Amino acid sequence: MIDSLPNWLDPTPWMEQSQSTDLHAIKNAIYSDNPGERELALMLSPTARPLLETMAQRAQTITRRHFGRTISLYTPLYLSNYCNGGCLYCGIAADRRAIRTVLNIEQLDRELDAITQAGLDEVVLLTGERMPEADTSYIREAIERASQRLNNINIEVFPMQQSEYRILAEAGCTGVTLYQETYDPIVYEQMHRWGDKRDFESRLDAPHRALEGGLRTVGLGVLLGLADPSADLISLYRHATHLLKTYWQAGVTLSFPRIKPQMGDFQALHPVDESMLAQAIFALRICLPAVPLLLSTREAEAVRNGLAGIGISKMSVASKTTVGGYSETAEESTEQFSISDERSIDDFCRMLRKKGLEPVFKNYDAIYREPVTYVRSS
């Protein structure tokens, strides 16, 4: 365990601003030409809440400037729910009474075919922590089979070594999503009772290892509700900017999942309501104009409808959090958490078009899947 964060990640110098009552300073932060940690902290202040509409307008202007009136679409595919982790907040932790299963190759092919037939071209392949049932070789084969059908294949699995990430990049993987969950090392230890995921530092370093291994994008995120949201969001911003400065050719995305109902019935320690979620998204869009911000089907229809194109530029659609579930009905007891937006692809795209937004099913080509060797900045 580590007791404190490295200087490049530590939010402490800006926590005072996150409680600021200086409305004039907050307004200046919203319209800053070069916003950074200070401006982000000010916009996360409770005093900024009455300025949410102003922040939304600013975020929408920036989003349209960098992403146009488009929303990129993707869907998750759970390969396995075997896990050695003891995460208090997770529905597939090792001590949950979940039915454990893993897709065999025939089932995997059917799931990938169903996703392809639905018109989607980007998938995130997910597993629990490292287990014999879904190890690196299994994930590599899943990537190889997915790459025969889809152009953009990402993974959200256990942290790996650089050499393993290289193997997956060569198999056709384009990116890795790996949330730190919380950047508070004390809370992190409390939330992860046992298993490989208990290693805070290994997880923190994994996006670096993934890029060194040749992957093109990394997805970062915090699980809102575990710790002080302002501190976690400032650290998330600092983590993103650190990677973007070090690997200036790489892509970084950010996600904002909130604690949702799951089999362990864990309750958020620091509840984040819809207004605070929107405030966080608007603030990070203002501070990171060109970084894709994602919103999943964890959130309800009304929340997703309201945030699409106003900060958010990429969204999951028609998601299943069970193992499989696209080609046939899967056991609910295999799901990691509950879905809140169950709309079909057609219904979701109809909503986007009514808002003047165009759904994008393909924004990547397989020709760019070759592993990358980055020129690192000092």
Give the list of residues 6+ apart from residue 185 with CB closer than 8 angstroms, or none.
1, 2, 3, 4, 5, 200
Give the class (CATH, top level) of 53-364.
alpha beta
Query: For the chain, which residues make up each domain, given as ranges?
Result: 53-364
Closest CA to 177 of 240, 103, 255: 255
pLDDT 10s digits, 114-157 = 999 999 999 999 999 999 999 999 999 999 999 999 999 999 99
Segment 33-42 shows an average pLDDT of 98
pLDDT 10s digits, 154-186 = 999 999 999 999 999 999 999 999 999 999 999
pLDDT recorded at residue 332:
58
pLDDT recorded at residue 259:
87
Whether the pLDDT of residue 210 is over 80: the answer is yes
d(CA 162, CA 134): 18
pLDDT recorded at residue 331:
62
d(CA 360, CA 271): 33
Confidence of residue 367 (pLDDT cuts 50, 70, 90): confident
d(CA 190, CA 72): 36
> How far out from the chain centre does Cα 315 lie?
10
pLDDT 10s digits, 326-362 = 998 766 555 556 789 999 999 999 999 999 999 999 9
CA distances from 324 to 66, 117, 347, 355 (A): 34, 15, 22, 31
> How far out from the chain centre does Cα 263 lie?
21
Confidence of residue 310 (pLDDT cuts 50, 70, 90): very high
- Output the six-digit token pair for 131: 């287990």
- Output the six-digit token pair for 351: 């909503």
Give the list of residues 6+ apart from residue 327 with CB closer than 8 angstroms, or none.
107, 110, 111, 113, 114
Provide, rounded to the nearest whole percent, the portion of the chain with pLDDT above 90.
87
**What global pTM score does this model have?**
0.95
* β pairing state of 358-360 and 70-78: parallel
- 90 CB-contact burial (10 Å; exposed 0-12 / middle 13-18 / buried 19+): buried
Q: Which residue has the tokens 């309750």?
A: 267
pLDDT recorded at residue 107:
97
d(CA 135, CA 128): 10
d(CA 56, CA 103): 42
Segment 16-25 shows an average pLDDT of 97
pLDDT 10s digits, 65-123 = 999 999 999 999 999 999 999 999 988 899 988 899 999 999 999 999 999 999 999 99
| Amino acid at site 188 | Y
Q: Which residue has the tokens 């989003």?
A: 63
pLDDT recorded at residue 338:
73
Whether the pLDDT of residue 297 is over 70: the answer is yes
pLDDT recorded at residue 376:
84
> How far out from the chain centre does Cα 307 lie?
16
Beta bridge partners of 352: none
